[in-house]
Amino acid sequence: MSYDYDLFVIGAGSGGVRASRIASSYGAKVAVAEEYRIGGTCVIRGCVPKKLLVYASGFSKDFKLAEGYGWTVGETSFSWETLIERKDAEIDRLNGLYINTLSNAGVEMIEGRALVTGPNSVRVGDQEYSAKYILIAVGGWPMMPDLPGIEHAVSSNEALHFEKQPDHIVIVGGGYIAVEFAGIFNGMGSQVTQLYRGEQILRGFDTDLQHSLATEMKARGIDLRTSLNVTKIDKTEKGVILHLTDGTTLEADAVMYATGRAPKTDGLGLQDAGVALDKAQAVIVDEYGKTSVDSIYAVGDVTNRVQLTPVAIKEGHAFANTVFGNMPSSPEHDAIPSAIFSQPPIGTVGLTEAQAFEKYNGKIKVFKSGFKPMKHTLGGSEERALTKLIVAEETDVVVGAHMIGLDAAEIMQGIGIAVKAGLTKAQFDATVAIHPSSAEEFVLMR
């Protein structure tokens, strides 16, 4: 049987680009279809633009800290329009790099929305293509609850392109995106109200991190309100009026929903082609990324396992190794370090205290250190940091590490190696500290 391509990838985001490039390096003839821009969520409307905005918003605090160190900062002002223009130029540059990467790797790029028409066929526009393998890497899309007036809300996609900085923004949700954007708009001087339906933000994270971040966000002036939700949104001339579950209303220039992301499988033709989806419409895959159809695989957010770019990249690479490199590889999903670029940031890897307590029947040791980062001493900030290690008592293995505070994201990458490697607390203790640093707490907690 001959096909137009060995591999047809749908979606040129983190997972799809990596899979295309590696498959091509093994000699496969590869095409990738993308309906919007090469680079996907992370590059175009996620991690990268978000992090640039996080950097931008951090200066307001840095200006204050600088004064404690003898600097006269003078009058400062911030232009949202300039930032967005510069951010967009950087995204254009990265988009160009991604296009070059694919083209240098010999991958054919096809613009348009692809429809799976069978186990070995895909249609883009009027054109039908055949392929020995199809890889679904279409990612996810912001999900919003169904309530009256929800069409007046925006997601992080649009918030990255507001024409004007909102004077007052309401952010709904208590996960990664909600806390990151609350920090961004707060740092830029907008009034921020964050509404979370549960009792404490960051469900699933270690409780010490949850409480510390909530405290620090409030200290920075974010009006964080918990056990509260929106029932209805009215559009006004200036923005929106939100009707809340406690019977009150809230007026703002904009409301942004960060209430999770769903697999973007709608209208892809997957079920007609025999690909099984779960209740959340995610593609069901085995440990190699294979779906219920032997010739169709899936990687990344569309499989709704771990919604993180580096995980999608690993899955895409493993898929190419398995199918085209003669090296069956199944990406591991344990001890994945991750960061929240909240302000202050969070870094975490492995089990929370509660998860470890359950897994080891209470036989755990917990080490914690709360401190004021040295930078804040002269800077005059009251912001505190916290480091925490969870150790399995019987083996002395460090099964979880958590941090909130300056540089937590950078620090956790190294700690992540140690936790992934299964090192013991004694080995952490035997490591010499880097002094003075915040990171040293991880080898000094007794």
Binding site for ligand NDP (CB under 6 A): 145, 172-178, 180, 196-198, 203, 229, 258-261, 307-308, 338-341
260 is in an annotated binding site: yes
Estimate to the nearest angstrom the gap between the alpha carbon of 415 and the chain centroid.
Answer: 19
51 is in an annotated binding site: yes
Q: Six-digit token pair at 287?
A: 């440990």
416 is in an annotated binding site: no
Q: Six-digit token pair at 443?
A: 């080898």
| Residue whose CB is less far from ligand NDP, 325 or 416 | 416
| Residue whose CB is less far from ligand NDP, 117 or 215 | 215
> CA–CA distance from 407 to each of 142, 378, 387, 436 (Å)?
28, 18, 12, 14
The 8-class DSSP code of residue 432 comes to: P
Q: What angle do CA 101, 103, 109 make, to 5 degrees?
A: 115
176 is in an annotated binding site: yes
| Residue whose CB is less far from ligand NDP, 65 or 143 | 143
Is the CB of residue 310 less than 8 Å from the CB of residue 317? no
Q: Six-digit token pair at 82?
A: 């300039």
CB 258 → ligand NDP: shortest distance, Å?
Answer: 4
196 is in an annotated binding site: no
274 is in an annotated binding site: no
Q: Report the distance separating Cα 313 and Cα 405, nearest Å.
A: 28
Q: Of 66, 22, 83, whose CA–CA distance to 375 is shortest?
A: 66
| Residue whose CB is less far from ligand NDP, 64 or 218 | 218
Active site (annotated) includes residue 435: yes
> CA–CA distance from 207 to each of 9, 212, 360, 404, 428 (Å)?
40, 8, 18, 12, 23
| Residue whose CB is less far from ligand NDP, 6 or 301 | 301
Identified catalytic residue from 152, 211, 333, 435 = 435
Q: Which residue is nearest to ligand NDP (CB)?
A: 175
415 is in an annotated binding site: no
- Residue 140 half-sphere exposure toward CB, CA atoms < 13 A: 28
Element (H, E) at 133: strand 127-136
Peptide bond into 436 cis (omega under 30): yes
Q: Six-digit token pair at 45?
A: 């409307």
CB 194 → ligand NDP: shortest distance, Å?
Answer: 10
Q: Six-digit token pair at 121?
A: 């066929």
Is the CB of residue 133 less than 8 Å from the CB of residue 4? no
| Residue whose CB is less far from ligand NDP, 33 or 254 | 254
DSSP secondary structure of 3-34: -SEEEEEE--SHHHHHHHHHHHHTT--EEEEE
CB 197 → ligand NDP: shortest distance, Å?
Answer: 4
CB 309 → ligand NDP: shortest distance, Å?
Answer: 7
CB 342 → ligand NDP: shortest distance, Å?
Answer: 9
75 is in an annotated binding site: no
Q: Report the distance separating Cα 374 and Cα 187, nearest Å.
A: 21
Q: Of 286, 288, 292, 285, whose CA–CA distance to 271 is shortest?
A: 292
CB 147 → ligand NDP: shortest distance, Å?
Answer: 8
Is the CB of residue 22 less than 8 Å from the CB of residue 320? yes
Which amino acids are annotated as binding site for FAD, given as ranges? 51, 301
List residues with catalytic annotation.
435
Which amino acids are annotated as binding site, given as ranges? 51, 173-180, 260, 301
Which amino acids are annotated as binding site for NAD(+), given as ranges? 173-180, 260
